[in-house]
Amino acid sequence: MLLSGWGGTSPSRAEVRHPFDDADVVAAVRERPHRGVVARGLGRAYGDAAQNSGGLVLDATAMRGVRHLDVERARATVAAGTSLDDLMRWLLPEGFFLVTPGTRSVTVGGAIASDIHGKGHHADGTFGSNVRALTLVDGTGTERHLTPEDTPEEFWATTGGMGLTGVITEAEIDLIPVETSMILADTERASDLDDLMARMDARDDEYRYSVAWIDCLATGRSTGRGILDRGDHARIEDLKPARRANPRAFDPHAVISAPPIFPSGLVNRWTVRAFNELWFRKSPKRSEGHLVDIGWFFHPLDLITGWNRLYGPRGFVQYQFVVPFGQERAVQTAVERLSLAGAPSLLAVLKRFGPANPAPLSFPQPGWTLALDIPVGDPTLPNLLDGLDDLVLDAGGRVYLAKDARVRPEHLAAMYPRLDEWRAVRHRLDPDGTLRSDLARRLGL
């Protein structure tokens, strides 16, 4: 089967199998396929992380379900192929939420392997920081029970390990108790990037969730103008009386589906400029304490099924980096360069990260992260992004492997200084190099 990531770039062909349980995974890994094996979740990594050209890919989504819910301790044991969408539909009515990225269409295994973050990183940490234990079938086909206390090296190498330490089959995760499925949110508009970052610095800590959207096509004095969305879970008394009878209802539907065939080039600087303008205008200058659905607050893109197809067959890349606090200048420069280049980026996302966790390849570190989508095809794009890599490196930052599809391999060690430490543990878990992916080949991981 031809597989690509969410960006639709660099497709490659692999044999795909759907293991139903741990025994199937063990058997597949023990076959030691000639070009290796790697797990795949819902393919939401943007680049080539869940591809293995010419080899075997284990689609984990048939391993699905909640195996145990401990209501007292707010903890669930779930099969690794379960999507966060399922988990939220099943668990929100029971009063539990979880660390979530910008889409519900990711699996628990993918969330751990990329050590994903959400709008609440500064308060709750990453997804991996909320995992209490996991089951891993390592590169020799041996099942292991990993916890941060008993097997810290293996546990943290697997968290953020991009599937290269083994196949995760099950995880025990901490849940976030909630009274409702609504968010009590504040929205503000910022006139430029300085203003936006100042507002985030000043009051992010008062909110559990915080994220800003930047219009990278705005130029001149409005360069980096943005909208800041922050909030926390609403309590029952925050709801309108009519809603209080059923406070945790959660049944989101996509409102529209993108057409399957769409030419490349329609996402261009003119259409994007118009969209960004509209988005900016539609937001209130300031609005405090409005109630929004969890789905609308966290996953607005899930309202359009297959929106990635709007970029056409050539696809798009997402560029996401983080630079430490104190390197605000690098964020400014990046936004200025993107704005000058006129790279047609729909709303870039800006966020402040909290502390890092012990995982050597985990992306988040204290600082500013910026993420933006850019269509592929403009011949100046490789240089623009290579230049941003240099900027990020100079500032002591890194790019996010779950989003990457093009970084130069020679930059990896500088971006992830603990790479060799990770490699040593990976080598213990996969001494024969059975776990392989296109990302690993491209970056020499």
Partner 1 sequence: MQDALGGVQTVLVLGGGSDLGLATARRLVDDRATTVVLAGRDPGAMAEGADSLRRAGARRVEVASFDALDRGSHGAFVERCWAEYGDIDLVLVAFGVLGDQDVAEHDADAALAIIDANFTGAVSVLIPLIDRMRAQGHGTVVVLSSVAGERARRSNFVYGSSKAGLDAFCQGMGDALVGTGVRMMIVRPGFVHSKMTEGLDPAPLATTPEAVADAIVEGLAKGREIVWVPAALRGVMSGLRHVPRPVFRRLPV
In angstroms, what CA-CA distances link 2 with 8, 55, 166, 269?
A: 11, 11, 22, 30
Region of residue 326 (phi > 0: left; psi between -120 and 50: alpha; otherwise: beta): left
- Between 168 and 443, CB nearer to ligand FAD: 168
Q: Cβ of residue 244: shortest distance to ligand FAD, in angstroms?
A: 30
- Between 220 and 263, CB nearer to partner 1: 263
Q: Cβ of residue 152: shortest distance to partner 1, in angstroms?
A: 32
In angstroms, what CA-CA distances link 179 with 87, 95, 105, 120, 235?
A: 16, 6, 23, 17, 5
Q: Which residues of this protein are in contact with ligand FAD, per CB under 6 A?
A: 6, 38-45, 49-50, 60, 80, 101-103, 106-107, 109-111, 113-114, 116-118, 162-163, 167-168, 301, 402, 437
Q: Cβ of residue 219: shortest distance to ligand FAD, in angstroms?
A: 27
- Taking CB within 5 to 8 Å according to partner kind, which of partner 1, ligand FAD, none is near residue 426? none
- Between 53 and 135, CB nearer to partner 1: 53
CB 183 within 8 A of CB 291: yes
| Strand spans (E) along 80-129 | 96-97
CB 211 within 8 A of CB 119: yes
Strands 131-138 and 166-174: antiparallel
Q: Residue 437 and residue 123: Cα distance in Å, rounded? A: 32
- Between 107 and 151, CB nearer to ligand FAD: 107
Q: Cβ of residue 423: shortest distance to partner 1, in angstroms?
A: 19
Per-residue b or e along 269-283, where b marks 16 or more CB atoms closer than 10 Å to that residue's CB:
eeebbebbeeebeeb
CB 225 within 8 A of CB 218: yes
Q: Cβ of residue 189: shortest distance to partner 1, in angstroms?
A: 33
- Taking CB within 5 to 8 Å according to partner kind, which of partner 1, ligand FAD, none is near residue 106? ligand FAD
- Taking CB within 5 to 8 Å according to partner kind, which of ligand FAD, partner 1, none is near residue 226? none
- Between 43 and 315, CB nearer to ligand FAD: 43
Q: Cβ of residue 36: shortest distance to ligand FAD, in angstroms?
A: 11
- Between 63 and 391, CB nearer to partner 1: 391
Q: How many CB atoms lie within 10 A of CB 3?
A: 20
Q: Which residues of this protein are in contact with partner 1, per CB under 8 A?
A: 2, 7, 9-14, 35, 47-48, 52-55, 313-315, 317, 376-377, 379, 381-382, 385, 405-406, 408, 438, 441-442
- Taking CB within 5 to 8 Å according to partner kind, which of partner 1, ligand FAD, none is near residue 168? ligand FAD
Region of residue 293 (phi > 0: left; psi between -120 and 50: alpha; otherwise: beta): beta
- Between 67 and 408, CB nearer to partner 1: 408
Q: Residue 335 and residue 226: Cα distance in Å, rounded? A: 12
- Between 223 and 297, CB nearer to ligand FAD: 297
Region of residue 429 (phi > 0: left; psi between -120 and 50: alpha; otherwise: beta): alpha
Q: Residue 315 and residue 132: Cα distance in Å, rounded? A: 37
Q: Cβ of residue 113: shortest distance to ligand FAD, in angstroms?
A: 3
- Taking CB within 5 to 8 Å according to partner kind, which of partner 1, ligand FAD, none is near residue 41? ligand FAD
Q: Cβ of residue 391: shortest distance to ligand FAD, in angstroms?
A: 21
Count of H-run helices and E-run strands, the chain: 14, 22
